[in-house]
Structure 1
Amino acid sequence: MDEKDVRSYTVTTSVDCDTASSTDFVCYKSFTFLSLKRGEKDSAKAEEPSRLAIEAIEQHRTVQYLTRENHFIQKFDDGMRLIHSRNLQRGILQSLSYALTVSYTFLNFAIGYRYGVYLVSANVTSPFTIFQVIESLNSASPSLLAFGTYLPEYVRARVSAGLLFEMLRERPRIDNSSVDGKKLLLDGDISLNNVYFGYQVSGRKMILNDFSLKIERGKTTAIVGASGCGKSTVIQLLERFYDPIAGNINYDRECLRDLNLRYLRSQISLVGQQPTLFNYSIRENIGYGLEKITEDEIIAAAKQAHAHEFIIKMPEGYDTVVGERGNKLSGGQKQRIAIARAIVRKPKILILDEATSALDVESEKLVQEALERAKEGRTCVVIAHRLSTIRGADTVAVVKNGKVIEQGTHQKLLALGGEYANFVQKTLL
């Protein structure tokens, strides 16, 4: 190749590179700008019909008795129509991107051929050199076409990855898996000292205001009060699902923040109003989370929870699968299995969050007997509104406006004639 060919090759190659890069730039910038601008909004809107469908199916009985089936169907249909419209718009953008890429690719060929003819006719270069440049364009064109084809997928993945990485960048304020902190073997004394707390979703409106309470080891403390006074929030703080904004919580005079959270929770059992059971066998649900558990321990816990009797009457006994969320069992049966699960962990502290409030009278009696057995020899914190649960407590703490306003035994508070006496009177009416 002589000097003239070298010069001409350089010129034509630069034309090749310029036109190819212009293709990438135009397609990328145009499509990316349009897609990213609405990608996050589309992702959020795409989740709405799914969330609505799951909610309607899970709460289908409520939907039926409220006769709101058509309402949910219409909302789902509206959501899907919006997604369909968005997908059509995205399809148009994708088609436009591909069309631009193909057009610019073949435009590159046209420019290359036309400019090559001009250079040959001007005796600036040889036909062989032009052939080399055209072949380089031909080799590059599949890549350019692929770029236009996969660009929409790249943009969509970029939006999804952006949301994922944003979530991964979030660091929990309370690290459940941390190995740091003191591993304290609990005796059972608990104290909440001048605690202030408000949930972020409520704009940090204070739920607990200067809340103070001492819970003695081996005794049962009942926390009572009107709905929204902060009773269940106390449980959230004791389990350290949240940290107080101000004040401190101590276990055996050790600050909760300084303790190893996993080790602490292994010594605490919680039985809530709506027990959570997994779609496993009864045996697996009772021993859930425990690596070393024997059959005898599971059966002993079930007997103590008044669950053994109904379990052995089932076709598969302890191997009976309870169904999703325990839907094959009654409310009382689920609650007794949850109590057995709490007992088998041999906790130092037992927390009961309105554990009998959703039960009928017969089931409540059985569950209450199971709870009385479970409380023996343990520190027990009870959130309750039924007198049958409160009467047996060693101490009753009355909460109003986020603070303890009365504290004492059932009889002492009745004699006081204050807020607790009014509460009992309303309960008996």
Structure 2
Amino acid sequence: MSTRDAIEHALRAWNQHETNRGAAPVIDFDFHPTTQEPLAPTDRLTTYLRLTDLLSNSTEPALTQRVTADLTYLRALLGEHLPLREYIHATQGCPAAGWPPDYVTDIGETARRAVEDRGIAWGVNTVTDLAAAEGPLDPRSAPDAIRAAATDLEPSVRRLTGTDADYELSIETADVDAYWSYWLDGAGPRVRLRLNTRHASYTKVQARQFALHEVLGHGLQSASIAARCATDDVPWVRLLSVHGPQQVLLEGLAQAMPLFITPDDPALIARVRLDHYTQLVRAELHLAINSGTPISECAGHARTRVPWWTNDQIANLLTDRSTNPLLRTYMWAYAAGIDWFTNLADHAEPTAIDTVLHAAYRAPLTPTELQQLWPQGPAIGGPGSSMSSIQPYMVTGPNG
């Protein structure tokens, strides 16, 4: 058995253990599903010892980076609490350097102008007013609206990414007390989208946004990578885990997709600009709460930066990014990814964009590989923040 196959064998057995005990799965998309009987579950400590041994015998950089991510996350599950920067670099494959406060403020001003161009004021009611202007959807009609939007946008995504892979989409609803509103997983060409009705909101614009993000971003992208795995003996692990170093690519491109596919749709572009800003604010809080900044300062900063966030949203954000081993690493990928891909859309030459997007639908690229494809791009994970603690920067709005 090759080292890659032995790693996959160990991860499948570990995944079986986690799902059997009702914990979060380790495998979120299977690029190379097997028809064999499920493996006997393997506990965390035994998996740790197996992966440690495999790491010592690995000479392939792609395998070494992936197993390092798995071991680091597994150590967190077993009780270790590594410093945030060390933890994220080992798992997501990029620094947790952060962005200067003035840069976050500038991105916020761009977001404010985008929503105000839609006739929406910046303040405590921004998101509510934006949803009303976009045309609310009954939750029962959301799956059909997302399917219709995906069908309409799919030819453009295929042209831009160069993929001809097939995929089979199923959409389910769930009612879960969790941070996520939408979640996609699957195996091979089979893609499952779950809508969390407890937290998801539905508008006509969001139907297009999530068709691009979940279905044509994560779904078609994963099916395309799986199609390559069916024909090529690829050098990397053929199992997707959100604690691994491909998440910057996956979450970044999915969030920024409207900038590439529908640049002339102001409603969708406003959503991307707003997401870019709020993800950077979340990153500020991610760094702050993990560096010992008091809760009161974190909460005050969140309210200043994003006035429509509720106490419950702020509390969940701080908890998830400090105490949950999976979210403490995975959530960083959203800010790191959307910042890099937004800059790619806004500043790169068309040939660079074409190169990155074609490559992104063939392999689970790491942050290092993304930067090699566009060396002129910004530092993934931020250039570093001058903040030693939370400071009262804010996006003022027209009357501020």
**TM-based fold match above 0.5:** no
* Structure of larger gyration radius: 1
Greater relative CO (CA pairs within 8 A, separation 6+): 2
| Higher share in strand | 1
TM-score normalised by L of structure 2: 0.24
TM-score normalised by L of structure 1: 0.23
